[in-house]
């Protein structure tokens, strides 16, 4: 055997591009349609616009990092077939279920275990550990569930609105605030999720971690502090953005604030944030230098790179056996087929006409009357189409009074399709967004006309002198889920049964002058809703309650 054959045995040679071509075709079959849908959906919105950028940067970083490890002699070919197969299987299962049931975080996130599994199959555990940051970085591309975003975003929106209001007041502008709605001059601005800081928080956190990984500061304390400081930096940058948008709207009008200059304000956010990150990093370095000098110590040196030791040949760097590649590609195609087979196709629609055409103006002891009171909207944003912020196809708000002069406000909101990220949101979200504080939450359990039990919730909403007890329930398909998690499980269960569920929010509220009247108001609303359900049951069965 020649010296060349001794140094480079035949089994180390790549079997050619066919293996990786098969894997690439399998990945394309899975993720090209998914990513196109994401780009036309959540990735196309301001909330998750960072998703495709993070994906591209992570993939480029992964390739560059593999070559860096090869040049440093740190690439080892010790395949882990069992661990790799389990990770790929997990990713394929997550993709099939996520794609079929529109669980976006499972659908997009499934790429991570699949890539981890491929690395394990080709290189093994040690090399996979050295590539951990690339896979961790990909987590920032995964769209969070809307219910999680609502929980995390609401306090951020309130905080940004509060800070922007007080900053504008300090600058002597005519500004007022109700929840996340800022009034400046004759204009009103809604601080939406995109302006709340959560999306930019994830983006800036991802960029900050990438920056620290590339710079490789030797100080763990410095890295940790910089990562934590990105949270207040994001909050500050978003406050600046809202203030700039408010001033643009005040001086140039609503069209300018919502048009091109809105996007410019978004760019301003990142310029401000990046400037603050660089400034804080410089400040932390200056503090570290001063502390080191004060103690008579030298600054920690950068870690010494290991000298290259017998790096893999170029043809062995990406070697993948053809049978393994064929199995991977076959599994990917099976996952695509399973996603299509599990996707629900049977629609279940209980309402075909607008509410205004069939909702009775009189029923039982109740009759519709004009009301001077403005109801809290069931939508978080007006005029946005059917999105996560506005998931409804039809809404109506009316006020009814009985023979004793007692008033109840009714709101109905209907959606033909309930999906994991575009579904009915609980009224608590809308009330808090419009400036109310909530208290006295309690479960609702009442009897319908046919004897079935209606499960829902009650709470007391306050805004200034206004006190509003609220009773509501939601129907999704053939269930009455209580809470966001229950709603998600209901949609998933019905989707796995092949059904696309519709949904309706039924909300009744009334005004009281004293908290002691809360229980009487809840009793009044319960009687009203029982009469309404009985009146609608005859011609619209299955609308308010499961059939």
Query: Which residues belong to the active site?
Result: 195, 241
Please identify which residue in the block is written with the tokens 């661990």: 83
- In angstroms, the Cα distances linking 85 to 226, 325, 327, 539 are 37, 12, 10, 55
Q: Report residue 437 as tokens.
A: 């504080």
Q: Report residue 189 as tokens.
A: 């601005």
Q: Is 136:116 a contact under the CB 8 Å cutoff?
A: no
Q: Is 317:70 a contact under the CB 8 Å cutoff?
A: yes
Q: Report residue 539 as tokens.
A: 């011609």
User: What are the phi and psi torsion angles at 470 (to 5°)?
Assistant: -130, 135
Please identify which residue in the block is written with the tokens 């981890």: 116
For residues 31 and 108, what is the distance between their CA atoms, to the nearest angstrom? Answer: 8
Rg (CA), the chain: 29
Interior/surface letters 64-89, b for 16+ CB within 10 angstroms, e for the rest: ebbeebbeeebbeeebbeebbbebbe
For residues 437 and 428, what is the distance between their CA atoms, to the nearest angstrom? Answer: 9
Q: Is 95:74 a contact under the CB 8 Å cutoff?
A: no
């Amino acid at each position: 055997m020649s010296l060349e054959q001794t140094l480079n045995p035949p089994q180390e040679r790549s079997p050619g591009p066919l293996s990786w071509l098969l894997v690439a075709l399998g990945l394309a079959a899975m993720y090209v349609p998914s990513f196109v849908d994401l780009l036309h959906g959540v990735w196309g919105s301001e909330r998750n616009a960072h998703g495709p950028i993070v994906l591209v940067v992570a993939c480029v970083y992964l390739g560059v990092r593999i070559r860096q490890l090869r040049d440093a002699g740190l690439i080892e070919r010790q395949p882990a077939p069992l661990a790799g197969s389990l990770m790929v299987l997990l990713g394929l299962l997550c993709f099939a279920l996520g794609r079929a049931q529109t669980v976006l975080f499972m659908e997009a996130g499934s790429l991570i275990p699949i890539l981890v599994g491929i690395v394990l199959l080709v290189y093994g555990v040690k090399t996979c550990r050295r590539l951990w940051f690339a896979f961790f970085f990909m987590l920032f591309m995964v769209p969070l569930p809307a219910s999680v975003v609502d929980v995390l975003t609401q306090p951020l929106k309130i905080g940004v609105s509060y800070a922007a209001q007080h900053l504008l007041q300090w600058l002597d502008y005519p500004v007022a605030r109700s929840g996340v709605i800022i009034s400046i001059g004759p204009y009103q601005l809604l601080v939406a999720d995109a302006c709340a800081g959560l999306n930019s928080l994830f983006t800036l956190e991802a960029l900050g971690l990438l920056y620290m990984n590339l710079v490789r500061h030797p100080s763990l304390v410095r890295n940790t502090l910089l990562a934590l400081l990105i949270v207040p930096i994001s909050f500050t940058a978003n406050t600046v953005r809202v203030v700039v948008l408010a001033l643009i709207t005040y001086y140039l009008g609503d069209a300018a604030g919502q048009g091109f200059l809105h996007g410019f304000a978004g760019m301003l956010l990142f310029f401000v944030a990046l400037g603050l990150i660089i400034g804080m990093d410089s400040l932390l370095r200056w503090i570290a230098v001063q502390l080191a000098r004060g103690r008579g110590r030298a600054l920690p040196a950068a870690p010494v790179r290991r000298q290259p030791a017998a790096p893999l040949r170029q043809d062995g760097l990406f070697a993948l056996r053809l049978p393994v590649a064929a199995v991977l590609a076959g599994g990917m195609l099976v996952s695509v087929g399973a996603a299509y087979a599990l996707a629900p196709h049977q629609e279940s629609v209980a309402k075909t006409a607008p509410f205004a055409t069939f909702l009775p103006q009189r029923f039982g002891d109740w009759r519709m009357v004009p009301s001077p009171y403005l109801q809290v909207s069931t939508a978080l944003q007006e005029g946005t189409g059917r999105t996560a912020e506005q998931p409804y196809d039809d809404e109506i708000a009316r006020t009814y009074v009985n023979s004793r002069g007692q008033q109840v406000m009714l709101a109905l909101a209907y959606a033909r399709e309930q999906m994991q990220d575009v579904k009915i949101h609980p009224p608590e979200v809308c009330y808090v967004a419009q400036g109310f504080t909530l208290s006295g939450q309690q479960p609702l359990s009442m009897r319908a006309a046919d004897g079935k039990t209606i499960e829902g919730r009650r709470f007391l909403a306050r805004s200034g002198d206004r006190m509003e007890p609220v009773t509501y329930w939601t129907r999704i398909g053939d269930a009455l889920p209580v809470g966001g998690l229950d709603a998600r499980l209901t949609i998933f269960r019905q989707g796995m049964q092949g059904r696309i569920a519709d949904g309706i929010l039924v909300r009744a509220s009334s005004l009281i002058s004293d908290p002691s009247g809360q229980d009487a108001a809840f009793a009044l609303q319960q009687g009203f809703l029982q009469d309404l359900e009985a009146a609608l049951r005859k011609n619209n069965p299955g609308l308010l309650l499961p059939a």
